[in-house]
Amino acid sequence: MGPATRYFTQTTPFSLTRGGELPQVTLAWESWGTLNESKSNAILVFTGLSASAHAASQPNDPSQGWWEGMIGPNLAIDTHRFFVVCVNSLGSCLGSTGPESINPKSGRPWRLSFPEITIDDIARAAQLVIDDLGIDTLYGLVGPSMGGMTALAWLKAFPKKTQRVALISTACSSAPFALSIRSVQREAIVTDRNFQDGQYNEDNWPEVGMRLARKLGMITYRSAREWDARFGRKRQDYFPQQAFGMRFEVESYLETHARKFVGQFDPCAYLYLSRAMDTFDACDSDESLIQLFTRSFTGHALVLGVDSDILFPAHQQQTLAGALESSGSEVSFEILNSAKGHDAFLVDSKLFETPIRSWLA
Amino acid sequence: MGPATRYFTQTTPFSLTRGGELPQVTLAWESWGTLNESKSNAILVFTGLSASAHAASQPNDPSQGWWEGMIGPNLAIDTHRFFVVCVNSLGSCLGSTGPESINPKSGRPWRLSFPEITIDDIARAAQLVIDDLGIDTLYGLVGPSMGGMTALAWLKAFPKKTQRVALISTACSSAPFALSIRSVQREAIVTDRNFQDGQYNEDNWPEVGMRLARKLGMITYRSAREWDARFGRKRQDYFPQQAFGMRFEVESYLETHARKFVGQFDPCAYLYLSRAMDTFDACDSDESLIQLFTRSFTGHALVLGVDSDILFPAHQQQTLAGALESSGSEVSFEILNSAKGHDAFLVDSKLFETPIRSWLA
């Protein structure tokens, strides 16, 4: 929601997969590069759970984006060639319609009265922006983490409307380990005394629950291997010593991340998107994953994972690559060696540049 | 604290490693088998964080122990041959002195006024029971998980007083991943609105925090590999459906464990023992691990780990075995193949029987 963010609003109802509808939807988005005359050079980027549409800096918003260094002139996703669009997810709190938005019927934030949304809804909502731009077929679709799930849902809803798809550190559904982590994160939020069934306010913010959720998130976004080398058992002296407080550097690291996150992300948005990730399942629907790809995609797919990722482990990307191959697509598949775990696509993004550049060549 | 539990009380002060003292200490313990005349057949078993002294059933307490099937007549730890003693840890709440005990000076539970205890204190306190039995030298010492750390602390404090030591799913110190998990568990407890700086009572129990701590515990005690096969994405219908409540079987599994734990274990005891595990470090003291073993142990060591353990990963047992070998000890070392993670010694204990039986042969 910086100076480069634009907004598309559909004022007619938006129907939801699980029933019900939103009377109107707004999508926050940003773009980089120029749409060519034939409108054939667009790349749509979906985001992880907590990211905004600001994927990279640009002249009218020089602040760092969440995928800085990946999108820009002469970068892996080269904005001399491509018109890149990133859309903040439906259900989020960073410009797009979500539980923190005002329900036009009540004049108050939706909070827990917001209808259940799915990854499929997020994909269809982002497409409203693409439709509004008059783009019929994408050059490419890129999705890391939850964004990869959104890319799968998009393929399902809009078959053969992209020539290339990149599925990064993602899966066709969440494994029980990821389900269990997110379940505990949500429980920490809804049991916070300030959560009050969603009736929190600035003075009574469910900070305790959001802190715990974020810390647990960070633990699963990184890896034990990284932390052995990075923190070991080094003591911390940054935060004051308290009873059962922080003694080790790894604790002050988590604390710093938690403090940053608490004010930035709406608790209800977190709950809705977290649940959407849990219930998404492209592997166990009416059509098999191979059938889904056969029906929806003919082109060049890129599947990337990281060997130290515990949230979306490498065997899940192997499954995606295998199904894509069986469907007859051209597939580039690589499990990258990085200690940075699930977050490698963000914090070790150099590793991802060469495969993404080749895939777009 | 069943019918087979016995209690040893020292009525004189017990000095603590970090300073201060306990005016008196009680240790809850159980035994199996018969101490021989020369008192040379005793095996001391230390426990994990939340276990009682009831390691196995016996005639006067037929209830299942935490290591049922491992200790008994003709079992791996054969009570026809050995006199087996298990002591509930100092700082726990299952019979031994801990924060839930009455401070004799105030007549009220210690709670957060309980002094800081260390794994070394737990080892020295257990030795009071052994001394009281008139046992000079142990035949063997067995410690799984936190109990393995306690065994290391015991070797340090009582050098060359055992012929055999078994270090199971343990480490000379906790890695930052384990530190981070326990940090979040403690934060969940101390931020529970009912925790009240330790002034909780039965009507205002920090249940929310204990539930979260236990669920997070279970996630790290098991493995993603086990859960992929055991739960997959099966839905649950055991607990009622609620907003952001349980949808998947893995969630109802965690819920069942959390409900069982909440009433069983004292929150303050959990905090004290959790912190003691964090601060224990036998790898970075004045003497190296090799020096520690050279000084304290000449005999046959057994080191066991499990390939899917994320809390005490296999490389930590490799470190222990390596240092024992370098110190000149006879070492049997094995990383067992089990999907049951850190809990394998409890729930896949069959796998541990053969190596333990051979080590004691």
What does the pLDDT average to over A220-229?
97
Residues A37 and A158 placed together within one structural domain of the fold: yes
Asked which of A258, A273, A288 is the last residue of a domain, the reply is A273
Q: Are residues A102 and A228 part of one domain? A: no
Nearest to B86 by CA among B24, B162, B150, B14: B150
Say what the pTM is.
Answer: 0.97
B151 touching A (Cβ < 8 Å): no
Size of chain A in residues: 361
Q: Longest C-alpha distance within chain A, in Å?
A: 64
Would residue B56 count as lying in a domain? yes
| Mean predicted lDDT score pLDDT of chain A | 96
The SS3 call for residue A101 is: coil
State both tokens at B36: 């021989």
- CATH code for the domain in which residue A31 is found: 3.40.50.1820
Task: Please identify among residues 115-144 of chain B the ones whose CB lies closer than 8 Å to any CB of chain A.
Answer: none
Q: Are residues B66 and B142 in the same domain?
A: yes
Closest residue to B224, CB basis, from A191, A279, A313: A313
Nearest to A176 among B231, B279, B284 (CB): B231
pLDDT (average), residues A331-351:
98
Inside any domain, residue A161: yes
Question: Which residues of chain B fall short of a pLDDT of 50?
Answer: none
| Cα–Cα dist A244/B157, whole Å | 26
Return the half-sphere exposure (C-beta side, CA atoms, 13 A cut-off) of residue B251.
Answer: 27
Which pLDDT value is given to residue B205? 96
Within a domain: B1: no
Interval A330-347 mean pLDDT: 98
Q: Which amino acid is at A100?
A: E
Q: How confident is the model at residue A323 (pLDDT cuts 50, 70, 90)?
A: very high
The pLDDT, as a whole number, for residue A245 is: 84
In a domain, A1, yes or no: no
Over residues A87-96, the pLDDT tens digits come to: 999 999 999 9
Q: What is the pLDDT of residue B283?
A: 85
| End-of-domain residue from the set A232, A256, A273 | A273
Question: A23 with A115, same domain?
Answer: yes
Residue A244's pLDDT band (cuts 50, 70, 90): confident
The alpha-helical segments, DSSP class H, found in A158-313 are 176-190, 207-221, 224-230, 249-262, 267-279, 289-296
**Dihedrals phi, psi of A59, to nearest 5 degrees:** -50, -45
| CB contacts, 8 Å: A181 with chain B | 219
Alpha-carbon distances of A358 from A107, A166, A297, A302, A337, rounded to whole Å: 49, 12, 19, 10, 18
- Phi and psi based region of residue B72 (left: phi greater than 0; alpha: psi -120 to 50; beta: remaining): left
Q: Which residues of B touch A249 (CB under 8 A)?
A: 176
* Pair (A137, A194) in one structural domain: no
Q: Which of A273, A296, A322 is the last residue of a domain?
A: A273
Q: Helix, strand, or coil here: B102?
A: strand
ipTM entry: 0.96
**Whole domain around residue A102: which residue ranges?**
6-176+280-360
Average pLDDT over residues A73-81: 98
CATH code of the domain containing A231: 1.10.1740.110
Residue A182 predicted with pLDDT over 80: yes
Which residues of chain A lie closer than 8 angstroms to B112, CB-CB? 243
- Please indicate, yes or no, whether residues B202 and B190 belong to a single structural domain of this protein: yes
User: What total number of domains does chain A contain?
Assistant: 2
Task: Evaluate whether residue B53 is within a structural domain.
Answer: yes
My answer on whether A247 and A324 are in the same domain is no
Do A164 and A36 have their domain in common? yes
The pairs formed by B231-237 with CB atoms below 8 angstroms and a separation of 24 or more are B231/A176, B232/A176, B233/A173, B233/A174, B233/A176, B233/A179, B233/A281, B233/A284
Same domain, A167 and A187: no
Check whether residue B191 and residue B297 sit in a common domain.
no
B332 inside domain: yes
User: Chains A, B: CB contacts under 8 A, how many?
Assistant: 126
Angstrom distance (rounded) from CA B95 to CA B266: 12
> Phi and psi for A31 in degrees, rounded to 5?
-140, 155
Poorest-confidence range of A242-256, A264-278, A317-331, B19-33? Answer: A242-256
Determine the residue of chain B that is closest to A234 in CA distance: B176
Say yes or no to pLDDT of A273 above 90.
yes
State the Cα–Cα distance between residues B44 and B69, nearest whole angstrom: 17
Measured distance CA(A154)–CA(B22) in Å, rounded: 64
**A220 and A179 Cβ atoms separated by less than 8 Å:** no
Does the distance separating the beta carbons of A271 and B247 come in below 8 Å? no
A56 plus A151 within the same structural domain: yes
E-strand stretches of chain A: 6-10, 14-15, 21-22, 25-32, 42-45, 71-72, 77-78, 83-87, 102-103, 108-109, 138-144, 162-168, 300-306, 330-336
Q: Does residue B256 sit in the same domain as residue B305? A: no
Q: Which residue has the tokens 């035949």?
A: B139
- The predicted structure's pLDDT at residue A346: 98
pLDDT score of A286: 75
Q: How confident is the model at residue A125 (pLDDT cuts 50, 70, 90)?
A: very high
